[in-house]
Chains A and B, each alone.
Chain A
């Protein structure tokens, strides 16, 4: 039995706004996140964040406080509980408080923004979330990034890039960052800020200092636009994807900084040739993908790579796995090809 065999509207599987926003706010080390709702919602997310942190070899115990709504609060309203929780959190040593709400809070009509308003001695930042009533996981990510960006001020720019909206719950998040860093290093361009991954409120104040923002993927276009309006920072809409896409990425970044990239491109093409040679033993085979893979954004990359190493894609071929997010850069393609080879030789 499959987990969900029903062919439903894909937006239903868009995940929870709260989880998306928490994947961002919990990356700010010196801040507390309050989740206004029943205790279970906070536990679920705490456990999930903990698990993905451990998967990435990071022991993370995020500072999350639940307002712990009970049935009586659902009936009589939960604003009092939220106010008490904010007051208690503000008395602790913290630089900022993020306030996120759950779907049940949206249902009972608590005015979260109004409760957050007022002088608490530190910034209390409401992030628009309401579980599924607030949209999807990605909406939560975008809302959190935008809410935090709106607290920062313009500053002097330098020759750096910002990395915007890394997928913090992604298993290979650090490997993807390393791949982008490798390409940037080839151009001699440093990273100013990972907005937002493992940083402090002080780090975030440097958000406006980059000359170029690199978005994790096109789902963050609205955030990229917001940052362009606020800091006049242009952006590249996605991490490098595909063989030719990686070359284009190098060229785009170089163009943004007005630097030459011929040497970097030559070296990257050499690396790609080396990669394709490494997998010559699966040349001439046939592969296919499961339906989720065929529909994923990874498929165009898979097709490009298959053409390059002369692998046929047809329905009778060996089923190989395809991740939902496209592999990042040349080394991401290497990981994908190892998984293909394992499946072909199985």
Chain B
């Protein structure tokens, strides 16, 4: 039985659109109805196009309509990527044959084929990323438009690489399309839930320990790399965080916390809160399959599970999406997971890198102190 009460995570079609729309040089066309188009267009804040098919195209075939849209978009010098939605996927039309005269990418990731990560990976595989031995530097991956921290993460990791004197390779998936086939030989990550699998993995950037371990590996493969300035910055900022958290603990108990999110971010949040605030991580409710962690973790797909975990643990602090915030608005809350509705977000806040940890701990301390006022 697959029924699900208030599903919390988007479908594969949205994931595919999130991957493709991140590349400058791709025009994304959602092949389906207006309903399928509107959701990713409001969530991703990226230019998307749609075929907006109607009933007569279901009955008589969608070829003419698809050609009409592609002809309208051709001539702008961009590669067109067609993302299949549920209905066209089961119409039985030979879409590849329909598109044979067009220079387009076809991504078959209808909503029923899985969750957002499934579609993201499928779309990236269709782009066929490859390593170019002549491309210097390190790729950055995990930059998915679906992730509200994606833009901030990319800026922050570029800053760290510049300070380490290492060039930036390809950013997956937020770069020029032509760089997909010319990736560097090494990769470091931001959000592990959207890893690219391209190049040799050097490590992630969520939390100071992870950044240091990754930069150690960077230094071992790049003789010209100088992670010294970043290490010094970490040491300096770590002291600031410790000071702020110790001050908090002089007055308050550590927060009892339940964390909801993609596993990669949720595990980072748990590690960071334990490390700096001796927090009690009561449970991680992971939106995707939970990996290995010292905290208790379960896969949470629907709102009823969220309500049950919050009711059961009665946490001081809830970390998650605006769904979780709405379950009990009186609790302390930090936004970590999309959707983050009901707030205006303009600045590119990171979660990865040094600034990401600073920003996260700052939010936690302020939320915990606000709650006690």
Residues of A near any B CB (own CB < 8 A): 1-6, 8-9, 11-19, 37-44, 46-48, 50-51, 54-55, 59-71, 73-74, 81, 84-85, 88, 102-104, 107-108, 131-133
Give 9 closest A-B pairs by Cβ, nearest first: A40-B11, A16-B35, A54-B342, A68-B2, A132-B33, A12-B52, A40-B111, A44-B39, A51-B341
Known A3-B47, A18-B35, A108-B90; judge A43-B10 contact (CB<8 A). Answer: yes
Give the contacting residue for A104; candidates B112, B329, B342; CB below 8 A.
B112
Give the contacting residue for B112; candidates A61, A74, A88; CB below 8 A.
A74
Nearest CB to that of B12 among chain A residues? A40
A65 touches B5 (CB 8 A): yes
B121 adjacent to chain A (CB < 8 Å): no
Residues of chain B within 8 A (CB-CB) of A67 are 2-3
Residues of chain B within 8 A (CB-CB) of A48 are 38-39, 42
A15 touches B13 (CB 8 A): no
B86 adjacent to chain A (CB < 8 Å): yes
Give the contacting residue for A66; candidates B4, B73, B86; CB below 8 A.
B4
Name 16 extra pairs, CB < 8 A, besides A46-B7, A71-B112.
A3-B41, A9-B54, A12-B52, A16-B38, A19-B35, A44-B10, A50-B322, A51-B339, A61-B327, A64-B5, A65-B5, A81-B1, A107-B91, A108-B90, A131-B87, A132-B33
A39 touches B7 (CB 8 A): yes
CB distance from A100 to the nearest CB of B (A): 12
Known A61-B323, A85-B3; judge A6-B72 contact (CB<8 A). Answer: yes
* A103 CA to B88 CA, complexed, in Å: 11
Known A40-B10, A54-B342; judge A1-B47 contact (CB<8 A). Answer: yes
Within 8 A of A (CB), among B72-92: 72-73, 86-87, 90-91
Nearest CB to that of A108 among chain B residues? B90
Give the contacting residue for A46; candidates B6, B42, B111; CB below 8 A.
B6
B242 adjacent to chain A (CB < 8 Å): no
B213 adjacent to chain A (CB < 8 Å): no
B90 touches A42 (CB 8 A): no
Interface centre among A4, A55, A69 (most CB of B within 10 A): A4
Nearest CB to that of A44 among chain B residues? B39
Residues of B near any A CB (own CB < 8 A): 1-14, 33-36, 38-39, 41-43, 47-50, 52-55, 58, 68-69, 72-73, 86-87, 90-91, 110-113, 301, 303, 322-323, 326-327, 329, 339, 341-342
Q: Can you give 13 contacting A-B residue pairs, CB < 8 Å?
A: A3-B49, A6-B69, A16-B35, A40-B11, A40-B111, A41-B11, A43-B11, A50-B326, A69-B112, A70-B2, A107-B87, A107-B90, A107-B91
Known A43-B8, A54-B341; judge A4-B49 contact (CB<8 A). Answer: yes
* A287 CA to B202 CA, complexed, in Å: 57
B2 touches A81 (CB 8 A): yes
Nearest CB to that of A135 among chain B residues? B55
A61 touches B326 (CB 8 A): yes
* A73 CA to B10 CA, complexed, in Å: 19
A15 touches B2 (CB 8 A): no
Known A14-B34, A51-B341, A61-B303; judge A133-B58 contact (CB<8 A). Answer: yes
* A59 CA to B341 CA, complexed, in Å: 11
Residues of chain A within 8 A (CB-CB) of B10 are 40, 43-44, 47
Nearest CB to that of B37 among chain A residues? A4
* A51 CA to B342 CA, complexed, in Å: 6
Known A19-B35, A81-B2; judge A43-B90 contact (CB<8 A). Answer: no
Residues of chain B within 8 A (CB-CB) of A68 are 1-4, 7
Known A6-B72, A55-B342, A81-B1; judge A66-B48 contact (CB<8 A). Answer: no
B339 touches A38 (CB 8 A): no
Known A16-B34, A46-B6, A46-B7; judge A5-B52 contact (CB<8 A). Answer: no
Residues of chain B within 8 A (CB-CB) of A8 are 52
CB distance from B13 to the nearest CB of A (A): 7
* A46 CA to B301 CA, complexed, in Å: 13
Known A103-B87, A104-B86; judge A43-B9 contact (CB<8 A). Answer: yes
CB distance from B83 to the nearest CB of A (A): 13
Residues of chain A within 8 A (CB-CB) of B69 are 6
Nearest CB to that of A17 among chain B residues? B35
Residues of chain B within 8 A (CB-CB) of A103 are 33, 35, 86-87
B1 touches A84 (CB 8 A): yes
A16 touches B3 (CB 8 A): no
A54 touches B52 (CB 8 A): no
Nearest CB to that of B2 among chain A residues? A68
A54 touches B12 (CB 8 A): no
A65 touches B4 (CB 8 A): yes
CB distance from B64 to the nearest CB of A (A): 13
* A70 CA to B323 CA, complexed, in Å: 24
B86 touches A38 (CB 8 A): yes
A15 touches B55 (CB 8 A): no
Residues of chain A within 8 A (CB-CB) of B3 are 65-68, 81, 84-85, 88
B341 touches A60 (CB 8 A): no
* A15 CA to B73 CA, complexed, in Å: 22
